[in-house]
Structure formats: C-alpha cells, structure tokens
C-alpha cells in the first residue's frame, strides 16, 4: 500500500506543477524563449531548469522515455518536423530525411 502512496504523491505533484506552469512554459517555448529565459520570466523560486526542460521535452515529444530504440541505429536517417493542424496547434512528427 505504501508503494502506491509514493506513486500517487508523484502523480499529484506532476499534475499540480503542470497545472501551475505547464501551459506557460509551453507558450514561452513556442515564442522562442530558452529554459533560462523562461525561469527568469516566470520568476518562481520553485521552478528548476531540469523541470522546465522535462516539460519542453514532453511537449516536443522527444522524451527519451517515449522514443523506442531504433533496432538498426539508423536515427540519422530521420528528422523531426513541426506541423500545424487546421486550428494552429503545433505538433512534431518523425519523418525520413530527404537527402
């Protein structure tokens, strides 16, 4: 039971952090701000560069936890492209490089 307690606390902490800062971090990142600039702009002592980078990585979809290992180590044959849907929402896709 105590194992689930720490899992729940981490999930709640992540949810609260994302609710408080997630959209702001993603918005500033889209505007071209760096992690240091985002931390400075938001001005909260509870923000760390590590947490900001985690939010940005998850937003970009490039978190190492989400990328399956390439069986042939051919990662150099792929690139990530930013695309927009009809509502203007940005997302990233992985595609084969055009040489």
| Residue 50 CB-density burial (10 A; 0-12 exposed, 13-18 middle, 19+ buried) | exposed
Q: Are 37 and 57 in contact (CB under 8 A)?
A: no
In the predicted structure, residue 74 carries a pLDDT above the cut 70: no
pTM comes to: 0.54
**For 25-47, how does the pLDDT look when each residue is reduced to its tens digit (9 = 90+)?**
999 998 989 999 999 999 888 88
23-30 and 49-60 helices, crossing angle to 10°:
70
**Residue tagged 């923000």 (tokens):** 47
3-state secondary structure of 80: strand
DSSP state of 76: G
């Amino acid at each position: 039971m105590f194992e689930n307690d720490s899992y729940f606390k981490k999930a709640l902490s992540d949810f609260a952090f994302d609710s408080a800062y997630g959209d702001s971090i993603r918005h500033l990142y889209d505007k071209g701000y760096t992690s240091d600039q985002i931390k400075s702009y938001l001005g909260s002592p509870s923000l760390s560069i590590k947490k900001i980078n985690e939010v940005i990585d998850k937003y970009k979809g490039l978190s190492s936890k989400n990328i399956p290992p390439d069986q042939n180590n051919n990662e150099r044959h792929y690139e990530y492209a930013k695309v927009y849907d009809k509502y203007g929402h940005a997302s990233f896709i992985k595609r084969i490089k055009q040489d």
